[in-house]
Amino acid sequence: MTRDAETPAGLPHPDLVAAIPRLRRYARVLTGDPARADDLVQDTLARAWEKRRLWQAGTDLRAWLFTIMHNLHVNQLALFRREAVNVSLDSDAGGGAWQIPVRANQVDRVELLEVVREMGRLPPEQREVLLLAAVEEMRYEEIATLLSVPVGTVMSRLSRAREKLKKIVAEPPTGLRAVK
């Protein structure tokens, strides 16, 4: 990597910029609120800049940023709980908190939006692991490190999330009667 492609502190600028959309997606899953998600992304980037000397060249910058974001979010939740503020991790019913890039036809997009909406019905810890594995394509070990849980817990949460999502998607829509 050339020196031109790095920030003055040594963080790889192209990788940092490329991580922002993924950070936004992850933040929206964590917070369920686009405005709070943007604040979390900003806080993450500020913390990363503040701690830039701790990042080791050659390691996965994306995983490092996700770890910072996860830890910030956990700290913010603890603070909110101490202040007796209710924090919802659920996305809105319309799936508006999710932004997944789709280059497909309209039917595919509608189907994807339905699946994303149904993902909002999953418990937060299952939804988070499913997003990191399926959308961010992180390995189990990376997810375990990011969330500070054993790899087996990641595998279990992912398995439960997939099974629950399959059941949810297979359910007939409510309010429809069988045609005789």
156 and 125 in one domain?
yes
CA distances from 85 to 44, 88, 113, 125 (A): 22, 10, 30, 20
Residue 142 sits in which domain range?
97-172
Give pLDDT tens digits along the chain (180 positions): 444 444 445 666 788 888 899 999 889 888 888 888 999 999 999 898 888 888 888 788 888 899 999 889 888 877 776 664 343 444 444 444 444 444 556 666 666 667 677 777 888 888 888 888 887 788 899 899 888 899 999 999 999 988 988 887 777 666 554 544
What integer pLDDT is reported at residue 156 of this predicted model?
93
Any domain includes 75: yes
Tell me phi and psi for residue 158, to 5 degrees. -65, -45
117 and 70 in one domain?
no
**Last residue in a domain, options 67, 89, 111:** 89
Q: Nearest 5°: CA angle at 103, between 97 and 108? A: 80
What integer pLDDT is reported at residue 59 of this predicted model?
82
What integer pLDDT is reported at residue 102 of this predicted model?
45
Any domain includes 180: no
49 and 130 in one domain?
no
**Last residue in a domain, options 89, 108, 139:** 89
The tally of domains found in the chain comes to 2
What integer pLDDT is reported at residue 39 of this predicted model?
92
135 and 119 in one domain?
yes
Any domain includes 140: yes
Any domain includes 109: yes
13 and 75 in one domain?
yes
